[in-house]
Structure 1
Amino acid sequence: MSATTRTIIDLKTQKYDRQLRLWAATGQEALEHANICLINANSTGCEIIKNLVLPGVGNVTIVDGGKATKDDIRSNFFLDPESIGESKAKSASELIQELNEDANVAFVEKDPYDLIDNQTDFFDPFTMIIAVNVPDIHLMKLSPLCVESGKSLIAVKSKGLVGMFTIQAPEHTVIETHPENVVDLRLSCPFQQLSDYVSTFDLDSLDQTDHSHIPFVVIILIYVEAWKKAHEGQAPQTYQQRQEFIKALRAGMRTPDEENFEEAIANAWRLSPSNPISSEVRQIFEDPSCQSAHGNSPLFWILTRAVRDFVENEGGGQLPLSGKLPDMKSDTCNYINLQNVYRKKALFDLDAIKKRVAGLTEGSNVHIPEETVELFCKNASNIRVIQYKAMTENHVQPDKLVNLFKNEENFCYYFIYKAADRFQLEHGRLPASQADFENLKHQAQSLMESMGITSEDAEEILATDILNKVMTNYVRFGDLETANMAALLGGLAAQEAIKLITHQYIPVNNTCVFNGITSTSSVYQL
């Protein structure tokens, strides 16, 4: 590696240091290769792009055929007074570009709706489309286009003090979900090497110093073995039994402040009987894509099949051990020895899965790097698959809809955004005054009935205080974005976009509503 190349890498590492800690070099590389299209250079759209350009998204194109007005610059920080009368897309792109020279921020001064209707190949180069305040009639044309080409689509709506976004994406798989403090110690089902190691300890023969430096893992397993001898080979399982077990641990403390025994007491809950594999992971194992995975399947499904086969064979019903050991009260020698026990077991499991991966890919041109297999094994207990619905398919059973209308204010805002789009289709503008209330109410009833809700239920819902309050607030907002809501929604939508791009962390499925009046947010699978 040349000195120049090394300097460039070091500068980039320094620049993106904080986010590299979140999604590492692989996530950063994915961001740099992303190509995003923003439809409409309004306040919320520019805030979203700002939050993508700052962390280093490679390419962004802002599409807007409008000219900046005085109303635009009141709420959009990326349009200045000199922008009035100029292209919104051009003015916004120039100011956003200044935020990060590593990003390429382009603009297209064309009507995006005309492109959707008449020039769909315009969207071919993009990997993600973010559509802000785009009417449903155009989203319904954009949605199948994105489905066919495998693009992600985020539709954002922002008006007044309430905003929302809906995500449509291809099958989304996540290996690195980044759960908090997940440690697999196998205390409820210790593997043979761990049991053998624990059997080398005799607590009664240790002096006070050594006794206070035995790792809590060893302490728990020693006391579990003693419990089994007194209870017909059964470990403590019920809450009452675990309380008695904790009393035994306390009785074993030689001094009131033995930290390692306190840690053992604090971790006794890990003996709770539970399925070693979560329902989410079991569901993934049962997915046809996993069961029929072969050498030419997507990488995620090859690895999932290998792990599933391992669980059913060498693993004895257990996922591969991650080998991660938390900090604990212990001397260096005992901690390292215990760490080596876990590490050897993790390497054994990893080697078995590597062989299964090799068997699955034999005869194909697919090569899965060893570090990728290792990463998957470390995260196997928390992998996720999200099957997003197309926006054209969004629907919920009528009885569930009725329940949402009656109990969920934030869902009512989602619905009124939809009804307002119908209003706009008829009147050429959004409802923006009290004079539009009755017409909006009529559109709401029509939309409910088109969703399968009976006219009787629709009339009952329309008479509720909750929906009337939502409609009143919606028309009261006028046709305006607020800077604070644009900034907040811009952060939320950009965060979800980054999750989709990096395939790290778990993104929203599929609609999120933020209510700035009550400072609440809700997520709905619609």
Structure 2
Amino acid sequence: MLVLGRLWAATGQEALEQANICFIHANSTGCEIIKNLVLPGVGNVTIVDGDKATKDDIRSNFFLDPESIGDSKAKSASELIQELNEDANVTFVEKDPYDLIENQPDFFDPFTMIIAVNVPENHLIKLSPLCMELGKSLIAVKSKGLVGMFTIQAPEHTVIETHPENVVDLRLSCPFQKLSDYVSTFDLDSLDQTDHSQIPFVVIILIYVEAWKKEHGGQAPQTYQQRQEFIKTLRAGMRTPDEENFEEAIANAWRLSPSNPISSEVRQIFEDPSCQSAHGNSPLFWILTRAVREFVENEGGGQLPLSGKLPDMKSDTRNYISLQNVYREKALSDLDAIKKRVAGLTEGSDIHISEETVELFCKNASNIRVIQYKAMAENHVNPDKLVNLFKNEENFCYYFIYKAADRFQLEHGRLPASQSDYDNLKHQVQSLMESMGIAPEDAEEILATDTLIKVMTNYVRFGDLETANMAALLGGLAAQEAIKLITHQYIPINNTCVFNGITSTSSVYQL
């Protein structure tokens, strides 16, 4: 638990402990997902399944044993899963989940998330608006044979802690005044060899940039060719062939390349009406976003607040700490300015945003994200894009076959599970294509492709059976995305993922 806690810290762990998740179906894949959520500390889990365990169930489900045959699947699975984490509250409801969806929708009111495994689309499209209305996340998982998929529907999802790798803002292309003042205190020519080899690469780059500007009309290296010339200048300044600090300066010269200091994703968030009209009673995320946007437009001079993070580098302790203090002071100054803006926005309201939260937002401001999920009933792609996906994406074909198989089940009361069902499944595929706007001639052409023929053949060969290996893998993938949604950390997919165990490939589609 301690190791996992490092991934999402105390705030994430608290969110997991407060989560209340409803699982529909105690099948193999469903139990694997539950296992992967109970182990890291999800607080409350309810398994809903009205079926009794059979011999076929125990062949692929590690959480059902031979003694479970004839007993409630939900009860048997919950008892074994509870043993994995005594702090979790794992309960069961032995009822038909489809009857609850149709006739007792208020059953789902207490839950914060619903994970539905192998639930037909005709029931999902009734569960989907219910979850949308109540602000609940819904993950629909499908698993048959060696191919599985899941689709996410959630309320507006905001992420502050996206945990990007190796993101460091050193402001080398636009140094702030105190950094420039600090760099100006160094005279490389007057240093002996020992001190020369201990100057941080940040200082080296900025010293050489100033020298470059004097010879190039006050302009820093802009183009790739100019940066290559600049690197030659750095290399010429090395007193020995193995001065590590100069090698680091050469390796980081790319940071001088001109670029917008604010990513397109963050700029889009700044332009969102929720940001521009944020007020004291708005959600915390949007208050903080507006405060940062106003900082960028005023005190920040077009720059986001500095995080103050400094990477490891070749330097003696004195120089490194001095440089670290320069960045830290600037970060604290930016933080104070944003705190004042947050206080101004929340003045007169009951909203209280802690200083720790403001600081966390400032440190992560360059990588915040907002995901607007579609309702599952709204998932659709324009016909031209559909045709392109069919012709170029085998994994998308499996997604489509799952939808067609649900139509087959609605008509025949079961899923296609043998070669004798192939023609009927093909008919459902064609009918679904045409209902989504694909021209009949395009549908005929797609149906004749080797890819779609192979996908339909594989699906009926799966025989409406789950496999333990695919259940385990899909259980890990779906649980990982559920944790991202619960903790509001890391970036979850938007909105559909297909894993093909035959080719060992995965694809994500925004449908």
Query: TM-score normalised to the size of structure 1?
Result: 0.96
Deviation at 1:45, TM superposition (A): 0.1
Q: Tell me the alpha carbon deviations over residues 461-503 of structure 1, each in whole angstroms, 9 at most, x when there is no partner.
A: 1111111110000001101000000000000000000000000
| Aligned residue among 414, 433, 448 for 1:448 | 433
Aligned equivalents of 2:45, 2:436: Cα separation in 1: 36
Deviation at 1:151, TM superposition (A): 0.2
Deviation at 1:273, TM superposition (A): 0.8
Aligned equivalents of 2:15, 2:428: Cα separation in 1: 43
Aligned equivalents of 1:200, 1:432: Cα separation in 2: 77
Aligned equivalents of 1:309, 1:456: Cα separation in 2: 54
Aligned equivalents of 1:339, 1:274: Cα separation in 2: 24
Equivalent residues in 2 for 1:506-525, closer than 5 Å = 506-525=491-510
Aligned to 1:47: 32
Q: Tell me the alpha carbon deviations over residues 11-52 of structure 1, each in whole angstroms, 9 at most, x when there is no partner.
A: xxxxxxxxxx10000000000000000000000000000000
Q: Tell me the alpha carbon deviations over residues 378-433 of structure 1, each in whole angstroms, 9 at most, x when there is no partner.
A: 00000000000000100111100000000000000000000000000000000001
Structure 1 residue matching 2:261: 3-state secondary structure: coil
Aligned equivalents of 1:166, 1:449: Cα separation in 2: 23
Deviation at 1:128, TM superposition (A): 0.1
Deviation at 1:173, TM superposition (A): 0.1
Aligned equivalents of 1:227, 1:306: Cα separation in 2: 37
Deviation at 1:355, TM superposition (A): 0.3
Q: Tell me the alpha carbon deviations over residues 207-240 of structure 1, each in whole angstroms, 9 at most, x when there is no partner.
A: 1111000000000000000000000011101111
Deviation at 1:125, TM superposition (A): 0.3
Deviation at 1:104, TM superposition (A): 0.3
Q: Which shifted more, 177-186 or 455-464?
A: 455-464
Aligned equivalents of 1:251, 1:351: Cα separation in 2: 42
Aligned equivalents of 1:234, 1:466: Cα separation in 2: 55
Aligned equivalents of 2:253, 2:508: Cα separation in 1: 35
Aligned equivalents of 1:479, 1:343: Cα separation in 2: 59
Deviation at 1:456, TM superposition (A): 1.1
Aligned equivalents of 1:435, 1:272: Cα separation in 2: 62
Aligned equivalents of 1:459, 1:303: Cα separation in 2: 53
Structure 1 residue matching 2:259: 3-state secondary structure: coil
Aligned equivalents of 1:59, 1:45: Cα separation in 2: 15
Aligned to 1:131: 116
Structure 1 residue matching 2:91: 3-state secondary structure: strand
Structure 2 residue matching 1:61: 3-state secondary structure: strand
Structure 1 residue matching 2:234: 3-state secondary structure: helix
Aligned to 1:11: none
Aligned equivalents of 1:457, 1:285: Cα separation in 2: 42
Deviation at 1:451, TM superposition (A): 0.6
Aligned to 1:381: 366
Deviation at 1:132, TM superposition (A): 0.1
Aligned equivalents of 2:299, 2:273: Cα separation in 1: 22
| Aligned residue among 274, 291, 299 for 1:289 | 274
Number of corresponding residues: 506
Aligned equivalents of 2:262, 2:180: Cα separation in 1: 21
- Asked whether 1:194 is paired with 2:179, we answer yes
- Asked whether 1:108 is paired with 2:70, we answer no
Q: Tell me the alpha carbon deviations over residues 147-181 of structure 1, each in whole angstroms, 9 at most, x when there is no partner.
A: 00000000000000000000000000000000001
- Asked whether 1:346 is paired with 2:331, we answer yes
| Aligned residue among 171, 177, 188 for 2:162 | 177
Q: Which shifted more, 234-243 or 125-134?
A: 234-243
Q: Which shifted more, 102-111 or 458-467?
A: 458-467
Aligned equivalents of 2:50, 2:141: Cα separation in 1: 18
Q: Tell me the alpha carbon deviations over residues 335-368 of structure 1, each in whole angstroms, 9 at most, x when there is no partner.
A: 0110000000000000000000000000101000
Aligned equivalents of 1:399, 1:98: Cα separation in 2: 51
Q: Tell me the alpha carbon deviations over residues 189-214 of structure 1, each in whole angstroms, 9 at most, x when there is no partner.
A: 00000001001100001111110000
Aligned equivalents of 1:77, 1:244: Cα separation in 2: 63
Aligned to 1:13: none
Q: Which shifted more, 455-464 or 320-329?
A: 455-464
Q: Tell me the alpha carbon deviations over residues 75-131 of structure 1, each in whole angstroms, 9 at most, x when there is no partner.
A: 000000000000000000000000000100000000000000000010000000000
| Aligned residue among 299, 302, 315 for 2:300 | 315
Equivalent residues in 2 for 1:63-78, closer than 5 Å = 63-78=48-63
Aligned to 1:119: 104
Structure 2 residue matching 1:166: 3-state secondary structure: strand
Aligned to 2:242: 257
Deviation at 1:294, TM superposition (A): 0.3
Aligned equivalents of 1:317, 1:214: Cα separation in 2: 30
Aligned equivalents of 1:372, 1:162: Cα separation in 2: 41
- Asked whether 1:235 is paired with 2:220, we answer yes
Structure 2 residue matching 1:379: 3-state secondary structure: helix
Q: Tell me the alpha carbon deviations over residues 257-312 of structure 1, each in whole angstroms, 9 at most, x when there is no partner.
A: 10100000010010111110000000000000000000000000000000000000
Deviation at 1:313, TM superposition (A): 0.3
Aligned equivalents of 2:176, 2:433: Cα separation in 1: 57
Aligned equivalents of 1:463, 1:311: Cα separation in 2: 56
- Asked whether 1:401 is paired with 2:400, we answer no
- Off by >4 Å, runs of 4+ in structure 1: none
Aligned equivalents of 1:257, 1:444: Cα separation in 2: 65
Aligned equivalents of 1:227, 1:467: Cα separation in 2: 60
Aligned equivalents of 2:259, 2:506: Cα separation in 1: 32
- Asked whether 1:25 is paired with 2:5, we answer no
Aligned to 2:3: none
Deviation at 1:460, TM superposition (A): 0.9
Structure 1 residue matching 2:281: 3-state secondary structure: coil
Which runs of no fewer than 5 residues in structure 2 stay unpaired? 1-5
Structure 2 residue matching 1:173: 3-state secondary structure: strand
Aligned equivalents of 2:145, 2:108: Cα separation in 1: 30
Deviation at 1:242, TM superposition (A): 0.5
Report sequence identity in percent: 93
Deviation at 1:320, TM superposition (A): 0.1
